[in-house]
Amino acid sequence: MTMITSSLPAEALHHAAALLQQRRRPLLISHPRPDGDTIGCALALRLALLQMGKIPSLACVHPIPENIAYLPGAETYVSDVPDDADIDLVIAVDMSDLSRTGGIYKDSWRGTLPLLVIDHHATNDAFGDVNLVDPDAAATALPLAALIDALGLPLTGDMATCLLAAVLTDTRGLRTSNTTPEVLRFVGQLIEAGGDYAGVMENTLDSVPYRQMRGWAVALNRLQLDGELAWATFPLAEKIALGIEDHDDLDLGNLLSRVAEAKVMATFLEMRDGTVKVSLRSRPGYNVAWIAKALAGGGHHQAAGCSVTGDLDAAQARVLPLAREELAKRLQKSHAMPD
């Protein structure tokens, strides 16, 4: 089957495929607080590598959320890898910079082990030796599918299910503005290949653990709206009361992204280590990636995040003025060029 895929530099695709063919024991890394894209893609690539007779391994510093842990191979994730692990290639999946490996990537690997990056973040800083990055793609699943296709490997039903989990979560169920006809055709191809669309919708997108929903109640109770800016804070004490761990961000960013009156949304989760995890969302036409990047994070125009040191008040004092700046920019633009 020929995959319909986004515009990727043919050279990067060729280099990435050659690297996978040459190496035998690749380590695939998913980012912290893993989502469906980083997990689904790593699992699909693991299956592709197994088909090639390779010995892939998977690592993620945090546990796999319950609503993606049922995907084939998720049980093989480990939370750390020793410096001297028996690996000969490192693959960073769905992350924009090296810090997003969450410490799994070891300094001693630099220059000795090749690093392949497969990603779609606008803020990606090309930190790999080979960078398969398509900032126009709705999910990392698209450049990854192009790579699997370039390798000439058949797409099995299990691989397609993993890729469906990736693309359906990153597009919030095909609702984001980057859900192009190409994405819809891609989803169609994955279903034709035997991917379990209904299962992913049911088990992943429509499955919210009870504890998480109780967390939403707390966050929604604390929801604020000021003009076109919506935000909510989540104090550590509330997390402790509900038994919510730090690696669980309750998917609050996506919950708040739906506030009708808001163009920019922010959530602030207080962590046990004295930092605050910030999730930013925006409506099309507004860009929050630069805000996250300015605070040492990253992401996409419409969905970005960062971690800042200090308490909830300090985090709001840093982030909310930048969010208002973004809203003001658009206001100025619309005065200049009414549309």
Interface contacts to ligand 5GP, rule CB under 6 A = 31, 33, 96-97, 100, 121, 249, 253, 279, 297-300, 303-307
Verify binding: residue 134, Mn ion, rule CB under 5 A. no
Q: What is the largest CA-CA distance in the chain?
A: 60
Q: How far is the CB of 289 from ligand 5GP (least distance, A)?
A: 8
Quote the least distance from Cβ 145 to ligand 5GP, whole Å. Answer: 18
Helices 36-51 and 141-150: crossing angle in degrees, nearest 10, is: 10
Least CB distance to ligand 5GP at residue 178 (A): 12
Instruction: Give least dist CB 102 to ligand 5GP, A.
Output: 10
Residue 2: DSSP 8-state: P
Structure tokens at 247: 């690696």
Could you tell me if 48 and 17 are in contact, meaning their C-beta atoms sit under 8 angstroms apart?
Answer: no
Chain centroid, CA 155 distance in Å:
22
Residue 303 interacts with, from Mn ion, ligand 5GP, none (CB under 5-8 Å by kind): ligand 5GP
Q: Is 170 in the site for Mn ion (CB under 5 A)?
A: yes
Task: State yes or no: residue 119 binds Mn ion (CB under 5 A).
Answer: no
Between 161 and 282, whose beta carbon lies closer to ligand 5GP? 282
Report how far apart the first and last C-alpha atoms of the chain are (Å, whole number): 43
Alpha-carbon dihedral angle through residues 115, 120, 121, 125, given to the nearest 10 degrees: 30
Residue 96 binds: one of ligand 5GP, Mn ion, none (C-beta under 5 to 8 A by kind): ligand 5GP
Among ligand 5GP, Mn ion, none, partner that 128 touches (CB below 5 to 8 angstroms by kind): none
Q: Which is nearer to ligand 5GP, 87 or 168 (CB)?
A: 168
Alpha-carbon separation of residue 315 from 24, 282, 304, 312 (angstroms): 44, 18, 15, 5
The whole-angstrom separation of Cα 300 and Cα 303 is 5
* Tally of helices (H runs) and strands (E runs) in the chain: 11, 12
Query: Given the rule CB under 5 A, which of 167-175, 186-194, 219-227, 327-335 is the region that contacts Mn ion?
Result: 167-175
* 119 vs 37: CA distance, rounded Å: 10
Min CB(37)–Mn ion separation in Å: 3
Cβ 49 to ligand 5GP, closest distance in Å?
A: 23
Q: Does residue number 94 form part of the binding site for Mn ion (CB under 5 A)? A: yes
Binding site for Mn ion (CB under 5 A): 37, 94, 140, 170
